[in-house]
Amino acid sequence: MESNIFKTSPETEIHVNISRPSTRNEHVKSPLLVFLHYWGGSSATWYKLTSPNSGTSLNADYPIMTIDFRGWGQSKGPTGGAATAEDYSVTPLASDIASTLTQLHRDTSHSALIYNGFVIIGHSMGGKVVLATLNCLSADLLGLVKGLVLVAPAPPTPLILPPDMSEQQRGAYNTEESVRWIAQNVLSSAEHLTDDDISIIVRDSLAGSTLAKDGWILHGMREDISPILDSLASRPLAKKVKIQVLAGELDVVEQKDRVEKEVVQSLTKKGFIVSFTVLKGLKHLIPLESPEAISQAISSVLSI
């Protein structure tokens, strides 16, 4: 994959990996797949769908762009004396993604990637950012969105944890032992993760900056972006976007009932075209537990 940096503000550099379809499929006119990771992840979270060495990779048939949110992976965000965790909440993240897509569209060396439109796939925190991103797109870019796949998405409504629980979650990614335990017992089931999966999860979770980690717990999780849905519903181009929502049957982070009520039903009531699938036996780390389910959702959203 080709590594690129897009500058979205004076202090923010967004790292993305880009791949084009393999030579034998270089003339396939497929939309670009844009992947946004969860709190604690990075562009590597999607490796089972993006690496040419993976048996479930989509890179032979689609151009792909995986993005590190600011403060995660190889992306950088504000760190000066005036920087706060709020600089890493949902709205700034969405602005970064919209800016990155705009630059991609304008850059002659990359614009062909987006010529056939794009699908945005967002996991957990990334799912909430997807909805906020739509509202940041220009009419030209919004018209190129072919679909959304929201994987165990955080709802647009705020979630305010009790102080003790919030503090506990802030320390969840402080040590290798805590990350490993959470990955195998809370986010997934140990039997669903390989040693490579665990290594990636541990590396990415520990590497996230303190501001990025706090940005979600103290601000992003609590941010109410539901008014954005009303704004999107008033834009005809947005309402044409097909949406697939996936939830894990056993997910305790983004429970399927809450996802159905606060994501699926909220979008449906506002006139969006939404399909909902509950994946049996799975928890939260669906990109690692069942990449095939995401691949199928991408195919479905393009065929609706």
CA–CA distances in Å: residue 81 to residues 78, 84, 85, 87: 9, 8, 12, 12
- pLDDT(272) > 60: yes
pLDDT digits (tens, 9 = 90+) for 21-77: 865 444 557 999 999 999 999 999 999 999 988 999 999 999 999 999 999 999 999
Of 146, 83, 156, nearest to 114 by C-alpha is: 146
Q: How far is 96 from 218, CA to CA, in rounded Å?
A: 19
Report the pLDDT value the prediction gives residue 132, as an integer from 0 to 100: 96
Q: How far is 83 from 129, CA to CA, in rounded Å?
A: 20
SS3 34: strand
Report the pLDDT value the prediction gives residue 66, as an integer from 0 to 100: 98
Give me the mean pLDDT over the 277-288 stretch.
97
Question: Domain containing 212: what range?
Answer: 2-303
Q: Which residues contact 134 (CB under 8 A, 6 or more apart)?
A: 142, 145, 148, 228, 232, 238, 241
pLDDT digits (tens, 9 = 90+) for 229-242: 888 888 888 888 99
Q: For every residue of 244-279, which 3-state class applies, written as one string?
A: EEEEECCCCCCCHHHHHHHHHHHHHHCCCEEEEEEE
Give me the mean pLDDT over the 197-212 stretch.
96
- pLDDT(203) > 90: yes
pTM beyond 0.85: yes
Query: 165 falls in which pLDDT band (50, 70, 90)?
Result: low
Give the percent of the chain with pLDDT over 70.
96
Report the pLDDT value the prediction gives residue 134, as an integer from 0 to 100: 94
- pLDDT(171) > 80: no
pLDDT digits (tens, 9 = 90+) for 117-152: 999 999 999 999 999 999 999 999 999 999 999 999
Query: 105 falls in which pLDDT band (50, 70, 90)?
Result: very high
Mean of all residue pLDDT scores within the chain: 93
Give me the mean pLDDT over the 69-86 stretch.
95
Give the percent of the chain with pLDDT over 90.
81
Tokens found for residue 72: 């995660």
Report the pLDDT value the prediction gives residue 304, as an integer from 0 to 100: 60
Amino acid (1-letter code) at residue 150: L
Number of folded domains that form the chain:
1
- Supply the CATH number for residue 66's domain: 3.40.50.1820
Query: 111 falls in which pLDDT band (50, 70, 90)?
Result: confident
Report the pLDDT value the prediction gives residue 161, as an integer from 0 to 100: 66
CA–CA distances in Å: residue 84 to residues 42, 71, 92, 185, 287: 21, 12, 12, 31, 30
CA–CA distances in Å: residue 31 to residues 63, 213, 284: 7, 32, 27
Q: What DSSP letter does each residue of 201-217 carry, written as one string?
A: HHHHHHHS-HHHHHIII
Query: 166 falls in which pLDDT band (50, 70, 90)?
Result: low
